[in-house]
Structure 1
Amino acid sequence: MNPTWWKTLREYAEALIVALVLALVIRAFIVQAFKIPSESMLNTLLVGDHLLVTKFAYGVRLPFSDKVIVPVSDPKRGDVVVFEYPVDPDKDFIKRVIGTPGDVVEIKAKQVFVNGKLLDEPYAIHDEPVAVPNPHMSEVNADPAEYFDRNSFSWKRDWMPKTTVPEGKYFVMGDNRDHSYDSRFWGFVDRAALRGKALIIYWSWDFTGGLDIRWSRIGRLVH
């Protein structure tokens, strides 16, 4: 074998291995790409937005596990987070944190109250401004094990009795309140299920009528 050819091949192989290792390290510890597949976070995030999610925002994890080896910070109310969908951990969801551990969350006719105070939510939208009547409120048991049964009844969308967020868990909702399948229906998100905090839109296109690039959204921070 030609020594020069072999040396060149080895150099390319070494460069490829280094690149793969760096890519794995970056994905495991620093950032991860995420694509918005649904309208549940309108108008904050649009279908076709591509995000970078900071993996280290809430702590550095042991690769391929949920164990945090270097704690950094805890999610705060208002953070937009990517997490493993509790019903099917193979799927990633993106929602906004509404309730943190110990918070008491209540929903009355679409209005969200946290610890007895109406939450200021300039990001939230409602396609149906009139709340669906809730004939069951007086009969509802706020025990999470019984209440969060994954049934997406319209009255559950607009009403929820006072519910305390357990330790180590979070209550999340989509910004597009009338079209989001979130904690109102299936319950809380475990701290260990959080993949990271949405950081920035690095690419966006509208493919409903073609492949139109949304230049104005590229580089926009997520908040």
Structure 2
Amino acid sequence: MQSLLGNFALILFILMVISGVVWFYDKLVLVKKRKAAAEIALAAYDERNARMKAEGIKVDDSGRETLKEKLMKRPMWVEYSGSFFPVIAAVFVIRSFLWEPFRIPSSSMVPTLEVGDMILVSKYSYGIRLPVINKKVIGLGDPEKGDVVVFKFPKDTSLDYIKRVVGVGGDKIEYRNKKLTVNGVEAKYQPMSDYLDTESLTYSKQFEEDLSGAGVKHRILNDDRAPTYVPHPDRFKNRQMCTYNVEGFSCTVPEGYYFMMGDNRDNSLDSRYWGFVPDEYIVGRAFLVWMNLNDMTRIGGIH
């Protein structure tokens, strides 16, 4: 799906730690030092003014507050670092445990998601995971068939991909002649009007797919020009649990893994090519398109 500067969560975590250390060091140490230094300086200021008054010299005390503010002012490096800490911490907590934004860069999930869609992903739908290492510590559920999920790409975990879950551990997935079967039950397909790709100005056949046992209806695309078989699948982990032929393929999903497919079936590199997605690579469930600068009508829930 996209590369987030290698590991944006790690970068954000480091910034939060650095700014947090500065913020706490200022609150616990530097403030006391500034206050002690200010008290000494103000005491000397008051003593000087009292002496001048005793000598009959008119004294202007208006500069005392200005001097105090100057003495108590935080250094610039502390000012900037400390001021950013609450903001960085809030962003880190929100995107690590609640919601994370992504932008769709490819057409593999058309027509459900289009290029340029800005989406929100729920990070807590499937449990609470420790940020950076993505380790689940509290389980709140598992991805289900039909969910649109963001996950770490098994071949390069610095990349985030988005696909639809069509199989969970123990499921037998078959895709032959461009029709999906799960555990022996073929998905139902309702023909819809052809889909126009406005970039390439080409049409694809569009169907409403009803995933067997999932109760999830969504749109998919098929391209008559594309072959029914899977060309050149990788030698991925647990590859022995899949068989390929000229009509398509059949796979049994290992426990703890998921089988992902793009809704743009003939224009999606997915589990058919690079294999199963382990649970520890799951990032979250995509649930909302919150912006598309090219088409504001795209805003809404993801099905």
Residue correspondences, number: 201
- What is the Cα deviation at residue 145 of structure 1? 2.4
The answer to whether structure 1 residue 188 and structure 2 residue 269 are counterparts is no
TM-score, length of structure 2 as denominator length: 0.60
- Give 2:271's aligned amino acid: S
- What is the Cα deviation at residue 127 of structure 1? 2.2
- What is the Cα deviation at residue 199 of structure 1? 1.4
The answer to whether structure 1 residue 132 and structure 2 residue 216 are counterparts is no
State how 1:208-219 maps to structure 2 within 5 Å: 213-218=294-299
The answer to whether structure 1 residue 164 and structure 2 residue 252 are counterparts is yes
Q: Write the distance in 2 (CA, Å) between the matches of 1:214 and 1:3.
A: 55
Q: Which of 178, 181, 206 lines up with 1:113 in the alignment? A: 181
Q: Contact between 2:121 and 2:287, CA under 8 Å: does it hold in 1?
A: yes
Q: Write the distance in 2 (CA, Å) between the matches of 1:64 and 1:133.
A: 39
Q: Contact between 2:242 and 2:252, CA under 8 Å: does it hold in 1?
A: no
Match of 1:87 in 2: 155
Post-superposition Cα deviations, 1:172-217, rounded to whole Å, max 9, x if no partner, equal 0000001000001111000110100001111113xxxxxxx31111
Q: Write the distance in 2 (CA, Å) between the matches of 1:92 and 1:148.
A: 24
Structure 1 segments of 4+ aligned residues over 6 angstroms from their partners: 7-12
RMSD over aligned CA atoms reads: 2.8
CA pair 215-166 structure 1, distance change in 2 beyond 3 A: same
Q: Contact between 1:148 and 1:184, CA under 8 Å: does it hold in 2?
A: no
TM-score, length of structure 1 as denominator length: 0.80
- What is the Cα deviation at residue 17 of structure 1? 1.3
CA pair 148-186 structure 1, distance change in 2 beyond 3 A: farther
Match of 1:208 in 2: none
SS of the equivalent of 1:29 reads: helix
- Give 1:132's aligned amino acid: P
Give the fraction of aligned pairs with identical amino acids, expressed as a percent. Answer: 39
- Give 2:227's aligned amino acid: V
CA pair 7-27 structure 1, distance change in 2 beyond 3 A: same
More helix by share: 2
Q: Any unmatched runs of 5+ in structure 1?
A: 137-142, 206-212
State how 1:1-223 maps to structure 2 within 5 Å: 3-4=68-69, 6=73, 14-120=82-188, 121=209, 122-128=218-224, 132=227, 144-146=238-240, 159-161=248-250, 163-205=251-293, 213-218=294-299, 220-223=300-303
CA pair 114-133 structure 1, distance change in 2 beyond 3 A: closer
Q: RCO higher in 1 or 2 (8 Å CA, sep ≥ 6)?
A: 1
CA pair 98-133 structure 1, distance change in 2 beyond 3 A: closer
